[in-house]
Amino acid sequence: MEYAKAFLIGGGLCLIGQILIDKTKLTPARILVSYVVIGVILGGVGVYKPFAEFAGAGASVPLTGFGNLLAKGVREAVDEQGFLGIFLGGLKATAGGISAAIFAGLLASLFFKPRDKS
Amino acid sequence: MAQYRQGRQSFVLPQPPVITAWASTAGKKESEGPLAHCFDITGQDTWFGQRTWEQAEKQMQRMTLGKLAEKANLRITDFDLVFSGDLLNQCIGSSFSLRNTGIPHLGLYGACSTMAEALLLASMTVGGGFADRVVAMTSSHFASSERQYRFPLGYGGQRTPTAQWTVTGSGAALVSREGTGPKITACTIGSVTDLGIKDANNMGAAMAPAAYATICAHLSDLGKQPEDYDRIITGDLGQIGKEMLLELARRDGLSLGGRLEDCGTLIFDRENQDVHAGGSGCGCSAVTLCGYLLNRLKAGKWKSILFCGTGALLSPTSTQQGLPIPGVCHAVAIEGGKG
């Protein structure tokens, strides 16, 4: 059941992205950024947490989950460090994801070369 | 008074320059398409033995020029002048392919209209008595264009349904003062037309009004009818742009009906090759002209064609700044060739 929920919710979020690519003139970059911003807003107003508890990885893996993590990190850092936390919290909370992505990118670039599509 | 000029933007060539030889190089996908049998060189390796896509494009031009010389029974140093262009920043495909060859070179940028632009300038140069053997050449490469205009392939972005597929290929035509082959009898220089279309993935629609304007100008400047040509062939409007051009003509009561072809729709099998709206790029009209169209003229299947290279004059910067896409189209009338 847990897997089914994660699959359906995560897949649903991706489906929305695919429809946006096919049916609107939004570039992939804009769609990605919108997902992050929406995640930040939903996380900021406290809606994302119950959603993530319900959907599990289906809510935390898509980019909205990254946005939520940014919001959460800022909130926690503000509680601990006050004003400075606004600037420190976001990246601190998401550092794992960012570093892993950069490292995976490096790794992929060492072993693979882009190919012509045909 | 300019003696060859006719009307607002056309000119005739009383001593028509002759296209005495032509050559084409095509990539893997193109050589799996409907025109596969027409190309001189086909490459299964789209790197063409080079380390970067840009160098691969340079290599295609070099191979095409070599093939052209071979087919014309000349050495490349016999060419008086090369007009060439591509889609890369600062046209490095063209300039790098010709470096240290000793051949005089003028680089051009007319986006996908460059082949028609080069052919038009070559016919002017030869017709005006400035040179005897002038080459018009262009190239484009799917992978280098994706990096240039959209995203590098490594980014793995998705393509939208209206996006066209940049042709990997290079075509070159030798325009000579004398010899046998199809002749260039008249040309129309296009003006830049912008109807405010902003979608860089729908360039056919941005170019269709320019194509229509140039075709109309050509017919009215020279007092011709569409029926005077066996085919009117646009560069790379793709399926969507071609339908739009037909619609524009229909509104004015001009029948282009069965005469209109588009290199972008000829070169690929849209159903089976997943190319969305069709082919595009400077190489698209170049390989179609130098692989298919000129062969048909030579074989006598057609007596005359109007070759209308269409270009979308956008840059990555203008797209990022939200500006609409201006289009341009140059027309070259090519006749005969049999015997």
Pick from A22, A109, A118: which is nearest to B161 by CB? A22
| Core vs surface per residue B5-30: b (16+ CB within 10 A) or e | ebeebbbbbeebbbbbbbbbbbbebb
Minimum distance, in Å, between the CA of residue A93 and any CA atom of chain B: 26
Q: Whole-prediction pTM value?
A: 0.88
Per-residue pLDDT averaged across B281-299, rounded?
96
pLDDT above 90 coverage of chain A, percent: 83
Residue B251 vs residues A42, B155, B241, B246, B256: alpha-carbon distances, Å = 50, 42, 15, 9, 12
> CB contact, 8 Å: B201 with chain A?
yes
Cross-chain residue pair A114–B143, CB shorter than 8 Å: yes
Indicate whether A29 pLDDT > 70. Answer: yes
Confidence grade of residue B40 (pLDDT, cut at 50, 70, 90): very high
> CB contact, 8 Å: B152 with chain A?
yes
Confidence grade of residue B151 (pLDDT, cut at 50, 70, 90): confident
Cross-chain residue pair A116–B160, CB shorter than 8 Å: no
Residue B160 vs residues A26, A36, A115: alpha-carbon distances, Å = 10, 22, 19
At residue A103, the 3 state secondary structure works out as helix
Pick from B29, B154, B158: which is nearest to A114 by CB? B154
Minimum distance, in Å, between the CA of residue A100 and any CA atom of chain B: 17
Cβ-based contacts of B29 with chain A (< 8 Å): 116, 118
Domain ranges of chain A: 2-111
> CB contact, 8 Å: B161 with chain A?
yes
pLDDT for res B229: 96
Minimum distance, in Å, between the CA of residue B95 and any CA atom of chain A: 23
pLDDT for res B161: 67
The CATH topology of domain B183-335 is: Peroxisomal Thiolase; Chain A, domain 1 (3.40.47)
Indicate whether B108 pLDDT > 70. Answer: yes
User: What DSSP element (H or E) covers B66?
Assistant: helix B53-71
Higher pLDDT, B274 or B221: B221
pLDDT for res B170: 97
* Cα separation, B130 vs B124, whole angstroms: 8
pLDDT for res B122: 98
Interface test with A, best of B55, B141, B153 (most A CBs within 10 A): B153
Confidence grade of residue B273 (pLDDT, cut at 50, 70, 90): confident
Per-residue pLDDT averaged across A64-84, rounded?
95
At residue B307, the 3 state secondary structure works out as strand
* Cα separation, B40 vs B33, whole angstroms: 14
Indicate whether B339 pLDDT > 60. Answer: no
Indicate whether A118 pLDDT > 70. Answer: no
Q: Give tens-digit pLDDT for B60-106.
A: 999 999 999 999 999 999 999 999 999 999 999 999 999 999 999 99
Indicate whether B219 pLDDT > 90. Answer: yes
CB-based contact A64:A42 (threshold 8 Å): yes
Mean of per-residue pLDDT scores for chain A: 92
Cross-chain residue pair B46–A116, CB shorter than 8 Å: yes
Cβ-based contacts of A28 with chain B (< 8 Å): 151, 157-158
Least confident of B153-157, B185-189, B269-273: B153-157
Question: CATH 3.40.50.10490: does it fit domain B5-176?
Answer: no
* Cα separation, B218 vs B146, whole angstroms: 33
pLDDT above 90 coverage of chain B, percent: 83
Q: Is B259 exposed, middle or buried (0-12, 13-18, 19+ CB in 10 A)?
A: middle
Mean of per-residue pLDDT scores for chain B: 93
Minimum distance, in Å, between the CA of residue A49 and any CA atom of chain B: 30
pLDDT for res B158: 72
Confidence grade of residue A91 (pLDDT, cut at 50, 70, 90): very high
Per-residue pLDDT averaged across B154-167, rounded?
78
Q: Give tens-digit pLDDT for B191-205.
A: 999 988 887 777 888
Angle between helices B203-222 and B238-251 (to 10 degrees): 40
Confidence grade of residue A28 (pLDDT, cut at 50, 70, 90): confident
β-bridge partners, B234: B262, B308
Indicate whether B113 pLDDT > 70. Answer: yes
> CB contact, 8 Å: B169 with chain A?
no
* Cα separation, B131 vs B127, whole angstroms: 8
> CB contact, 8 Å: B90 with chain A?
no
Domain ranges of chain B: 5-176, 183-335
pLDDT for res B8: 95
Indicate whether A53 pLDDT > 60. Answer: yes
Cβ-based contacts of A117 with chain B (< 8 Å): 142, 153
CB-based contact A7:A58 (threshold 8 Å): yes
pLDDT for res B162: 67
CB-based contact B91:B152 (threshold 8 Å): no
Q: Does this complex have an ipTM over 0.95?
A: no
